[in-house]
Structure 1
């Protein structure tokens, strides 16, 4: 649990809220992201909400349509008016989420990005590459590690997700997909120990095979 908490803390890099032009909900398996978008809209932080996401590894077959559509339906049910919602239904990763939303909101100067708590660092690292110059506020549902697992994404799956995303910090920076992120010794130790404990499902197969040697 201590190692899982270390990765959770590492990936939680949210910023203070500011008034913005648009709220963007990044699609995933977690509908609480849509709840957070609806909450921010109701509080008046931005006049428009864009939901982005096709269907990914964790949502394929679990949603009636795209992630964006499922999030939109949830937000509208919570009171966000239809006219204030736009959909982007083709993005399959964070880089595409950002780039494709940019095309939907070309005049936006300040954007509130809403994602899962443990994905905030990946969003902040991807923004300088995929939408340089935009002013970004990053937030997530407001709960801790213990509350993050859901029925269809267990604690074990969550830890594997955080392990995989920690590996991606350096790997994606090397490929030019993200800005490089610091990785302190406590985070490296947590990563190594969780890999040794078998939380490797979110790592590419080639990486898993190397780490298993």
Structure 2
């Protein structure tokens, strides 16, 4: 089996990260994860990204009987174009097939380039296939659960949505990526979107505790900003 690092992204050089910054990152990491109880769902939707662990988790959920239908959604981004040249969703499907999921249990949505489109286009694909789910389980990167949930509640409010991700501690995930600074940048970027997207109409509002906001401000001030939206 490929290592966690091999399954996610190439190793990059890392800079010095202080204990205070790591503590802030762990706080934000925990905030991003919702801790939803797993229960049967009409559909499991795996949101495309650089992280092949999403497909692994979705396949595991299928084998555990959580659902009979998987949807993988995602085209490419600049960070996945070389890793998944046929598109994120296509590579996810291939990985799930290799893990024993039957092909007729998998639908592929190959065009989405953002989270809103992941949800909207997956819903349209399901409708065309004759599936109108009452419940959906989203599978995401560990630090994307909350944003995916808030987005789905905005663009698909009728469905009962829950979230899941690969069960990894922050340190394990950062080691797997091979670049802790990049992971901190991504944690900060997703939290910025949780804060800003409701104002833009992309997601429902989420409460951000004061200590989480302080951790975010501290990391932004320390320069963990490569994944922030431009003003």
Give the alignment's TM-score, normalised by structure 1.
0.93
In the other structure, the counterpart of 2:75 is 54
1:163-178 map, 5 Å? 163-178=188-203
Query: For residues 12-161 of structure 1, what are the structure 2 equivalents within 5 Å?
Result: 12-106=33-127, 107-149=132-174, 154-161=179-186
Question: Structure 2: which 5+ residue stretches go unaligned?
Answer: 1-21
Give me the whole-angstrom Cα distance separating, in 2, the residues matched to 1:108 and 1:205. 36
Summarize the alignment of residues 174-213 of structure 1 with structure 2, pairs less than 5 Å apart: 174-206=199-231
Question: Deviation string for 1:166-204 (max 9, x for gaps)?
Answer: 111121110110001111111111111111111000013
Q: CA deviation at 1:104?
A: 1.5
1:104-163 deviation digits (Å, cap 9, x = unpaired): 223111111100110000011111111111011210001110121366662111110111
Residue 9 of structure 1 aligns to a residue whose secondary structure is helix
Q: Deviations over 1:30-70 (max 9, x none)?
A: 00110001100001111111100000132122212100011
Residues 14, 137 of structure 1: 8 Å contact kept: no
How many residue pairs align between the two structures? 206
